[in-house]
Structure 1
């Protein structure tokens, strides 16, 4: 892909390249027929918008165009083009302006919406809090939180009580992200109606509804739900500010935490207090809030979808249970950091889950300058949507694409004619703006899912409503129709 790295918005040079070579323009691309004035806007509204993208990819191919209120949007889904676009961030492409505006209206910003020099500075701040050393230092706490969930579920089964997996997984993810991000144990798992959980759910509900709305009504009048979202943000900001205050006090008393931070907030505070960092308290608060909001839903949804698919595919569940038995021995869950490298089938099950149920099914970008994408001329400020799950349902790329088959991700188990699929999907994005929390998310997924498969059998719950795909900014299941049943220990094993 050829393009300039220019952008008036970023304050960079604006000279156009000497020549852009291409054979087609946007108007040459296919696309669905729209309606007068609104174009395809009404077709994109609603909480299944990502499913419409996938259907259009099948109908119009890996690159097509839409019209929304007179503005052109280009959709790309093939892996090669998507990777080339994401590699050019942040210089060649920036976040979609509409998404940034919506997030800023809800006071959700930080590194996610920053661009140019501001992004580079904040990226350094966030990465200091999510590097491998910080996550390794937090690992014993993650193990303790997972043990607490295990005991909760065992008690529930012993007492004949139903387990609400959707609720518990979200609470477990919240406990984990608040633990590593803030250094506090709020024990949402054992507290019904935790206010922070409620406020985060409220924020995601508004964010999802606004990003999929056909018309931005809230800029002209606000409904009670919009005012409730504003109160939720204020409550989240107050809670996070308190966490930061208490953490600073603790770090003053325990100076070794400056050198060896045990959680993300300690690491970010240590980085922000470097005189050369130029980090502001506002940036610290914004990114701390972003880490809590972003880290809760993605991990919980990923695990929930994986359990749904494993319950429907007993052979895959049995293979994963066998792997956890082999790795863990007599232990009920992973307790050693080195074990995180010993779950190839679990990693494959996660990749297969993201192929079928991508938690982040699309990514919105805007061209900073005239450029060429897949031999197509893209004018400056054109919106591009990368359908991250586009090729995941392509039969040519994934034979038997409707089947949940983790084996396709394991070289030793893959069919001889199958290609390595690792470069065909990008659940954590790509390029320099790759999700900074991916290592934490994968570690938590391994610990929690290994605990579940070691101790329980998964059964479809015929009494529960089916899991529908709902787009609340991230793609979540409407329910988790899975029942846990205590596993019978293998012969000779004491549990």
Structure 2
């Protein structure tokens, strides 16, 4: 491990070998209350805003007290990068979050650790790599154009477009398509049960993660029973995908050697005893791919649309770029054109800086270590800020403004000046988000389609958009009207 996260064997005799100048008790932090500490200050769906406010107040590393146990928050980019890099050996997911996710049947590679994680990660990454995404690209384009047709018809009839709902439905169509090989057309199914169940799971996951007491383990309310039902129904839907895919692979045996999607690859692995990939691993990771692929990308696009509608100059620049690239085509159909959207990429980076859908990652230390010159005992809970120094005025002047131009350079900046090294929207290290390439491709296809075909009109009468943290952070609404361009 490097100097920011040093950790020898977790042995009391080795503590003196670590070099540090302070302990957790020496760190600054907000004043708490007797017995509870800071517990009552960190609940609710805007926890990320509270933690960000304290970063500005107490600096890049501070501590909280949760019922007598320390919690360390880190935003220094060097320390954050090192912490993420040292997963899964040096640091793991927090046990509390892993337990809560497991209670809602959300398992697989996202909660696995050690050798179990390595086994699952390899297969999941293979199912979402660049080649797979490129091969899926025509289907993604078809699904996006299907949504464009729906929107054009709605606008022509004077009907409002529910951007938040439709973006989630398209994300679900795409992830089920690339991962499961099925087209469920959730975009045109206004009451799609799978989408409703996934939304229900995320709401309950966020509420339980922010809860002060795990009451549902002793008394389940109607919302908890509904979440349990949703978890079962999502799993049943995935099992049906698996059953249909197994039947297809029996009819087309060549798919065992050359699987066409992630589910086929996982089935082939689970059928091979030497892979150690079980049917349970298969179901869990297939379920995870469906659940995890819907919320993150849809929220990222929703935030970008919100920000563009509030910044007409940026919207105009992006529209000019999409017009130049797409010409007479309604959306991008040629894979090679995906390289020609620098301003769109910059707008995405700026969106993640201001409205990261995963602003914090919870970790637990596997051994005694040193983080930012601070001694961290084994089993200490740590929260790292994926926005790093993104809201630091010294690093990003006018940091509250949406300025995609800050990500565009005539020459590649020096390492210390490179803004991409100051934030971590997809995590980092070996546990970098496996769906990163798929998400970036989908964002380019969908946002370029929107800006090329529509004008964005902000609904000035709508209430302010709130940042709501469930498991991921999304907008409370997308109060933007689409107007067909002429």
TM-score category, normalised to shorter length: over 0.9
Distance verdict in 2 for CA 1:18–1:59, change over 3 Å: closer
Q: Hey, what does 2:242 align to over in structure 1?
A: 244
Structure 1 position 83 matched with structure 2 position 81: yes
Provide the residue aligned with 1:294 in structure 2: 292
Within 5 A, what are the aligned runs for 1:317-356?
Answer: 317-356=315-354
Contact 1:258-1:267 within 8 A present in 2 as well? yes
1:213 maps to 211
> Does the C-alpha gap of structure 1 residues 273 and 310 become closer, same or farther in structure 2, counting only changes over 3 Å?
same
| Structure 2: distance between partners of 1:422 and 1:430 | 12
* 2:8–2:14 CA contact under 8 A, matched in 1: no
- Cα distance in 2, alignment partners of residues 428 and 214 from structure 1: 28
Match of 1:285 among 283, 286, 302: 283
Partner in structure 2 of residue 109 of structure 1: 107
* Aligned positions of 1:372-383 closer than 5 A: 372-383=370-381
SS class of match (1:276): helix
Take 2:349 and 2:9, find their aligned partners in 1: how far apart are those partners? Answer: 35
- Which runs of 4 or more aligned residues in structure 1 lie more than 4 Å from their structure 2 counterparts after TM superposition? 13-18, 413-416
CA distance in 2, matches of 1:15, 1:234: 48
Query: What is the distance in 1 between the residues matched to 2:47 and 2:234?
Result: 28
Partner of 1:169: 167
> What TM-score results when the alignment is normalised by the length of structure 1?
0.94
TM-score norm. by structure 2 comes to: 0.96
2:2 is aligned with 1:4? no
Q: CA deviation at 1:242?
A: 0.5
Segment of structure 1 superposing worse, 401-410 or 214-223 = 214-223
Matches of 1:26 and 1:231 in 2, distance apart? 42
- Secondary structure of the 2:275 match is coil
Change (3 A) 1:330 1:14: farther
What is the CA-CA distance between 1:258 and the residue it aligns to? Answer: 3.2
1:464-475 matched pairs, under 5 angstroms: 464-475=462-473
- 1:439-454 to structure 2, matched below 5 A, reads 439-454=437-452
Q: How does 1:35-50 map to 2 (within 5 A)?
A: 35-50=33-48
Alignment partners' CA distance in 2, 1:262 and 1:405: 40
User: Is this contact kept in 1: 2:38–2:65, CA < 8 A?
Assistant: yes
The range that moved more, 420-429 or 266-275, is 266-275
- Is 1:149–2:147 an aligned residue pair? yes
Name the CA distance, whole Å, in 1 between partners of 2:224 and 2:20.
45
Tell me whether 162-171 or 264-273 shows the greater mean CA deviation. Answer: 264-273
2:252 is equivalent to residue 254 of structure 1: yes
Deviation, 1:18, is 7.5
Deviations, residues 328-369 of structure 1 (Å, cap 9, x unaligned): 121111111222222111111101000000100100000000
In the aligned structure 2, how far is the partner of 1:69 from the partner of 1:17? 25
- CA distance in 1 between counterparts of 2:106 and 2:357 reads 19
Residue 10 of structure 1 corresponds to: none
Give, in whole Å, the separation in 1 of the partners of 2:412 and 2:403: 10
CA offsets 1:412-470 (integer angstroms, 9 cap, x no match): 39999x93201000000001000000011111111000110111111111233321100
* Aligned mates of 1:2, 1:471 — CA distance in 2: 28
* CA positional deviation for 1:324: 1.1
SS in 1 for 2:433: coil
SS in 1 for 2:274: coil
SS at match of 1:327: helix
Given that 1:54 and 1:390 are in contact with CA atoms closer than 8 Å, whether structure 2 keeps it comes out as: no
Unmatched 5+ stretches in structure 1: 8-12, 489-495
Q: Aligned to 2:290, what secondary structure does the other structure show?
A: helix
Which residue matches 1:227? 225
Give the unaligned 5+ runs of structure 2: none
- Deviation of the 1:164 alpha carbon: 0.8
Which residue in the other structure is 2:128 paired with?
A: 130
- In 1, the alpha carbon distance for the partners of 2:262 and 2:241 equals 12
Mapped contact 1:134–1:261 kept (Cα < 8 A): no
Contact 2:141 2:332 in 1 (8 A): yes
User: Per-residue CA shift, 1:103-154, capped at 9, x if unaligned?
Assistant: 1111211001110010000101211211112111211110110000000000
CA-to-aligned-CA distance 1:360-400 (integer Å, 9 cap, x gap): 01000000000000110000000000022242111001011
Inter-partner Cα distance in structure 1 for 2:351 and 2:466: 15
- Determine if contact 1:54/1:389 at 8 Å carries over to the other structure: no
Name the CA distance, whole Å, in 1 between partners of 2:383 and 2:27: 14
Cα offset for 1:483? Answer: 0.9
* RMSD of aligned residue pairs (Cα, Å): 1.8
1:46 Cα offset (Å): 0.3
Alpha-carbon deviations, 1:203-240, whole Å to 9, x = none? Answer: 00110001111121112211111111111111011100
Match of 1:59 in 2: 57
Report the CA distance between 1:87 and its aligned residue: 0.7
Does the CA contact (< 8 Å) of 2:80 and 2:388 recur in 1? Answer: no
Moved more, 214-223 or 84-93: 214-223
